[in-house]
Amino acid sequence: MRRCLKPETMERCWTRNWTFKVRLKGHRLIWECWRFGLLFAMCFVVETAHGNLPPRFLIDGQTEIVLRLKEGAATPVGSRIYHLHGFDPDDDPLRFGIRDQVGSEIFQIENVGKNEADIFLKKELDREVKDEYSLVLTLTDGHLGEGNFITQSLLLLVEDVNDNEPIFKPYQPTISIREDSAPYILTTVEATDQDEGPYGQVVYSLQELDGDDNMFSITTVNGKGIIRLIGQLDYEHKFLYQLRVMAVDRSNNERVNTATAAILVKVLDVEDQPPEFVVATPVTRISEDAQIGTPVLQVKAVDGDRGINNHITYSITQGSQGCFDIDANSGVVYTLKRLDRESSHNSNGAYILEIMV
């Protein structure tokens, strides 16, 4: 440029310089335009994405859907347990679903129309297995992107039904007690019931199977049945009691469930009874010429305490006048010497013997 001294030469140089600058600016212009176009395209894409408005659940201003359903047959499998509504500002068709989690398998969602769905029960509810389900419902309008959903929590509370019977824990089925026992606690039984509240509370009653004597009682204390001996036993009167214990739950507005337990009470004999004669011939006759050792009669006695059955021994305590004796083991009375009907030892030929066992 320093060599362009003449004005026209300078003008030409300036023109070239300007043209160069314009050319330079032209490239930048193209670049800027291209960059602007890219930005515009990106903005357009973003704008298009943001152009969708998300759907929402319509649940009357609640934050959580809470359902209360009775367990068992009271809520049959296949029941429609809830009806869902959704809203989309763009009027997109909606799809409801349920997030896969523990417990979600018992529900089934069926979409109805454009923006509704029904929730059905697929499996019977059992409060004693699971008493509540905390679930997450999903909703999409198809424009939220893969795996993206609007969510809504649903809490299902399973209400109790009296569907369990009391079950007795292992107990002592046979109990032996002495007949001279004073009143005391014989044993304690317990039955458990899985239901809730009164449906699971157990009360006990007692029945004696072949009699109505008030020999035993039962009281319910802290869910247990305390069985007491309250009467005076007598082995010789009765030595076996068959008790039936009934456990009943406290249901007062539904069916009542029961369970029974059988207890056998064996009374042990105590020595409190004298022996008893079971065979005692009141009168017998014998010839006065009978040989010594001739059997005259036989008595038989047993122990009054039948459960003990001690060995019985016999003896003559009075009236033999030296003429009779008795076999201590067999109870056979026999002559000790020759008899004389006219003897002064007897009265009119008769002897009155007193035999003791």
- Write out the residues near Ca ion by the rule CB under 5 A: 52, 88, 90, 92, 127, 141, 160, 162-164, 193, 195, 199, 235, 249, 257, 269, 272-273, 305
Distance CA 166, CA 247 (A): 7
Report, in Å, the least distance between residue 200 CB and Ca ion: 5
With tokens 């069985």, the residue in question is 227
Which burial class, exposed, middle or buried, applies to 151 when counting CB atoms under 10 A from its CB (0-12, 13-18, 19+)? exposed
Which burial class, exposed, middle or buried, applies to 240 when counting CB atoms under 10 A from its CB (0-12, 13-18, 19+)? exposed
- For the residues of 5-35, what is the DSSP string, one character each? -SHHHHHHHHHHHHHHHHHHHHHHHHHHHHH
Residue placing its CB nearer to Ca ion in the complex, 5 or 278: 278
- 312's CB contacts (< 8 A; 6+ apart) are 275, 301, 302, 303, 331, 357
Is residue 122 within 8 A of residue 80, CB to CB? The reply is no
Report, in Å, the least distance between residue 258 CB and Ca ion: 9
Residue placing its CB nearer to Ca ion in the complex, 190 or 269: 269
Report, in Å, the least distance between residue 243 CB and Ca ion: 22
Distance CA 305, CA 308 (A): 6
Residue placing its CB nearer to Ca ion in the complex, 199 or 334: 199
β pairing state of 174-178 and 258-268: parallel
Report, in Å, the least distance between residue 269 CB and Ca ion: 5
Residue placing its CB nearer to Ca ion in the complex, 190 or 193: 193
Residue placing its CB nearer to Ca ion in the complex, 129 or 350: 129
Report, in Å, the least distance between residue 292 CB and Ca ion: 41
Residue placing its CB nearer to Ca ion in the complex, 251 or 335: 251
% helix, strand, coil for the chain, step of 5: 15, 40, 45
Report, in Å, the least distance between residue 205 CB and Ca ion: 16
Is residue 160 within 8 A of residue 129, CB to CB? The reply is no
Report, in Å, the least distance between residue 308 CB and Ca ion: 7
What backbone torsions phi and psi does residue 39 show, to the nearest 5 degrees? -60, -40
Residue placing its CB nearer to Ca ion in the complex, 70 or 228: 70
